[in-house]
């Protein structure tokens, strides 16, 4: 077993700032390229230095897994099991500002497709009850797909943010997905209209809650996105816009407004849905548009944005996610920074880190190929002062 001990430190909250939760211990077994690993983290965090393929991103992935029990890279659980192993196991011990600790553990066995999650050694009644305990936000180069990818990538972003921060959202989303599957199955088989209509009230109720919460979140944090984008982009302007997958005016006004719009769309599209065998209205067709100003025009960054604009927009979304977590849970989130300097010019990198350091954040786990990447891109403050650990082929080594 590879183990690194850190000097004891108490995670006290800074005056005037919200408290923070920190990971004290992380233990991995047969996860990705880690056969077995145990780490004890300092309260402030650590910089993990190593070449590509050494396991840096895998380490961050394991921490994030304890937040939503899915990979932040979108990989299925089967791919997280180390080659040749029968199952993986991840366990974290976390401590709050008051010194209270709790443990979250998760494991997956591909042979039985069984996922087991425990909180303080107890199995939660539902997996959803354990989601969002860690309070973590991850920044990674793959975040570029939030801008360049399909609408499904941006819906996934909204769903994760809202599932961990808005009570009841995950339950509504799961109910909606269940009803949508049933509805699509009936449409494909040309079932009797009465069978389809039996699902309609459930479809409308759950779907309207999902749409309303998404619309409210975007309305609440649109200005925060623009502000961060402008700072990192050295004055350039961009905004986010919620585009629901149904005809509805002002979905943030209330769920009743959305429910009425969904029922209207369902009547209007009924014949087309039967012809195509698929549901044509609802939040599964939503998108989150990212728009940059060019003169008097608003350009979709997905189609017309430069590489720098796209990366800036993706990072701004993650920063807004962190702000949302602070506001919802009154706790500064843990920040995972996976080689964030790789695709940014030095000036943009400096502005990104300055903004991150100026805001409330908890423990920081940062990765980079070389220690000089942290020194050259970052301010000489908390991130540059993090302890440096080296990683090689799934093992943490002395620097």
- Considering only residues 226 and 340, tell me which one the structure prediction assigns the higher pLDDT: 226
Question: If pLDDT is split at 50, 70 and 90, which confidence band does 376 have?
Answer: low
pLDDT computed for residue 88 by the predictor: 98
Is residue 191 predicted with pLDDT exceeding 60? yes
Residue 141 domain flag: no
pLDDT tens digits, residue range 141-156? 889 999 999 999 999 9
Claim to verify: residue 298 and residue 382 sit in the same structural domain: no
Residue 140 domain flag: no
- Considering only residues 397 and 382, tell me which one the structure prediction assigns the higher pLDDT: 397
pLDDT computed for residue 11 by the predictor: 35
pLDDT tens digits, residue range 329-363? 888 899 999 987 777 777 777 777 788 878 878 89
Is residue 15 predicted with pLDDT exceeding 60? no
What value does the mean pLDDT take over residues 373-382? Answer: 58
pTM of the model: 0.90
Residue 142 domain flag: no
Q: Are 214 and 158 in contact (CB under 8 A)?
A: yes
pLDDT computed for residue 153 by the predictor: 96
Claim to verify: residue 89 and residue 227 sit in the same structural domain: no
Residue 270 domain flag: yes
How is residue 396 written in tokens? 């943490």
Of 274, 295, 330, which residue is a domain's last? 330
Claim to verify: residue 274 and residue 364 sit in the same structural domain: no
Claim to verify: residue 324 and residue 343 sit in the same structural domain: no
How is residue 392 written in tokens? 């090689």
Claim to verify: residue 226 and residue 115 sit in the same structural domain: no
Whole-number Å distance between alpha carbons of 266 and 259: 11
Question: If pLDDT is split at 50, 70 and 90, which confidence band does 33 have?
Answer: very high
What value does the mean pLDDT take over residues 316-330? Answer: 93
Question: If pLDDT is split at 50, 70 and 90, which confidence band does 259 have?
Answer: very high
Range with the lowest mean pLDDT among 144-153, 194-203, 233-242?
233-242
What value does the mean pLDDT take over residues 251-262? Answer: 94
Claim to verify: residue 32 and residue 168 sit in the same structural domain: no
Residue 69 domain flag: yes
Is residue 35 predicted with pLDDT exceeding 90? yes
Contacts with 12 (C-beta within 8 Å, 6 or more apart), sequence order: 97
Is residue 17 predicted with pLDDT exceeding 70? no
Claim to verify: residue 300 and residue 374 sit in the same structural domain: no
pLDDT computed for residue 7 by the predictor: 36
Claim to verify: residue 119 and residue 193 sit in the same structural domain: no
Residue 343 domain flag: yes
Range with the lowest mean pLDDT among 43-52, 162-171, 253-262, 357-366?
357-366
What value does the mean pLDDT take over residues 258-278? Answer: 96
Question: If pLDDT is split at 50, 70 and 90, which confidence band does 12 have?
Answer: very low
pLDDT computed for residue 363 by the predictor: 92
Of 307, 330, 353, which residue is a domain's last? 330
Residue 219 domain flag: yes
Domain containing residue 393: CATH number = 3.40.50.300
Q: Which single residue is written with the structure tokens 């539902």?
A: 126
pLDDT computed for residue 382 by the predictor: 65
HEC readout, the chain:
CEEECCCCCCCCCCCCCCCECEEEEEEEEEECCEEEEEEECCCCEEEEECCCCCCHHHHHHHHHHHHHCCCCCCCCHHHHECCCCCCEEEEEEEECCCCCEEEEEEEEECCCCEEEEEECCECCCCHHHHCCCCCEEEECHHHHHHHHCCHHHHHHHHHHHHHHHCCCHHHHHHHHHHHHHHHHHHHHCCCCHHHHHHHHHHHHHHHHHHHHHHHHHHHHHHHHHHHHHHHHCCCCCEEEEEECCCCCCCHHHCHHHHHHHHHHHHHHHHHHHHHHCCCCCCHHHCEEEEEEEECCEEEEHHHHCCHHHHHHHHHHHHHHHHHHHHHHHCCECEEEEECCCCCCCHHHHHHHHHHHHHCCCCCEEEEECCHHHHHHHCCCCCCCCCCEEEEECCEEECC
Range with the lowest mean pLDDT among 142-151, 172-181, 366-375?
366-375
Number of domains in the chain: 2
Claim to verify: residue 122 and residue 153 sit in the same structural domain: no
Question: If pLDDT is split at 50, 70 and 90, which confidence band does 5 have?
Answer: very low
Of 330, 358, 385, which residue is a domain's last? 330
Claim to verify: residue 301 and residue 348 sit in the same structural domain: no
Q: Which structural domain, as residue segments, surrounds residue 352?
A: 1-135+334-399
Torsion of CA 1, 20, 118, 159, to 10 degrees: -120
pLDDT computed for residue 175 by the predictor: 97
Radius of gyration from C-alpha coordinates of the chain: 22
Q: Are 177 and 171 in contact (CB under 8 A)?
A: no
Is residue 253 predicted with pLDDT exceeding 80? yes
Is residue 73 predicted with pLDDT exceeding 60? yes
Residue 249 domain flag: yes
pLDDT computed for residue 381 by the predictor: 56
Claim to verify: residue 160 and residue 307 sit in the same structural domain: yes
What value does the mean pLDDT take over residues 355-372? Answer: 84
Percent of the chain at pLDDT > 70 equals: 92
Domain containing residue 189: CATH number = 1.20.1050.90
Q: Are 201 and 259 in contact (CB under 8 A)?
A: no
Number of neighbouring beta carbons within 10 Å of residue 121: 7
Q: Are 47 and 366 in contact (CB under 8 A)?
A: yes
Is residue 174 predicted with pLDDT exceeding 60? yes
| CA-based max dimension of the chain | 68
What value does the mean pLDDT take over residues 72-80? Answer: 93
Number of neighbouring beta carbons within 10 Å of residue 314: 24
Whole-number Å distance between alpha carbons of 120 and 311: 38
What value does the mean pLDDT take over residues 84-108? Answer: 94
Claim to verify: residue 22 and residue 161 sit in the same structural domain: no
What value does the mean pLDDT take over residues 157-182? Answer: 96
What average pLDDT does the chain have?
A: 89
């Amino acid at each position: 077993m590879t183990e690194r001990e850190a000097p004891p430190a108490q995670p006290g909250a800074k005056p005037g700032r919200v408290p923070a939760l920190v990971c004290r211990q992380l233990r991995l077994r047969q996860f990705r390229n880690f056969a077995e690993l145990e780490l004890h983290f300092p309260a402030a965090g650590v910089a993990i230095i190593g070449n590509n393929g050494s396991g840096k991103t895998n380490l961050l992935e394991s921490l994030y897994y304890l937040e939503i029990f899915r990979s932040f890279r979108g990989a299925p659980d089967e791919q997280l099991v180390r080659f040749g192993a029968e199952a993986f196991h991840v366990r974290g011990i976390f401590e709050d500002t008051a010194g209270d600790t709790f443990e979250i553990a998760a494991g997956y066995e591909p042979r039985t497709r069984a996922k087991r999650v425990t909180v303080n050694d107890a199995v939660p009644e539902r997996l959803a009850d354990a989601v969002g305990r860690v309070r973590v936000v991850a920044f990674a180069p793959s975040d570029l797909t939030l801008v360049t990818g399909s609408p499904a990538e941006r819906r996934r972003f909204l769903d994760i943010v809202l599932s961990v921060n808005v009570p009841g959202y995950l339950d509504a989303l799961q109910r909606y997905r269940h009803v949508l599957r049933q509805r699509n199955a009936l449409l494909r088989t040309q079932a009797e209209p009465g069978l389809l209509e039996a699902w309609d009230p459930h479809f409308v109720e759950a779907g309207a809650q999902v749409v309303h919460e998404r619309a409210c979140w975007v309305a609440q944090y649109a200005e925060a996105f623009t502000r961060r984008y402008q700072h990192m982009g050295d004055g350039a302007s961009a905004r986010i816009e919620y585009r629901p997958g149904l005809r509805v005016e002002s979905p943030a006004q209330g769920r009743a407004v959305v429910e009425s719009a969904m029922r209207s769309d369902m009547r209007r599209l009924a014949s087309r849905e039967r012809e195509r065998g698929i549901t044509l209205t609802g939040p599964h067709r939503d998108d989150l548009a990212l728009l940059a100003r060019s003169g008097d025009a608003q350009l979709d960054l997905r189609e017309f944005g430069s590489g720098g604009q796209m990366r800036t927009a993706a990072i701004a979304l993650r920063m807004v996610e962190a702000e949302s977590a602070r506001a919802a849970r009154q706790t500064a989130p843990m920040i995972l920074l996976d080689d964030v300097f790789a695709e940014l010019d030095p000036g943009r990198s400096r502005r990104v880190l300055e903004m991150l350091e100026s805001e409330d954040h908890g423990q920081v786990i940062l990765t980079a190929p070389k220690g000089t990447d942290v020194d050259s891109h970052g301010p000489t403050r908390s991130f540059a002062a993090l302890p440096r650990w080296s990683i090689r082929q799934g093992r943490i080594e002395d620097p």
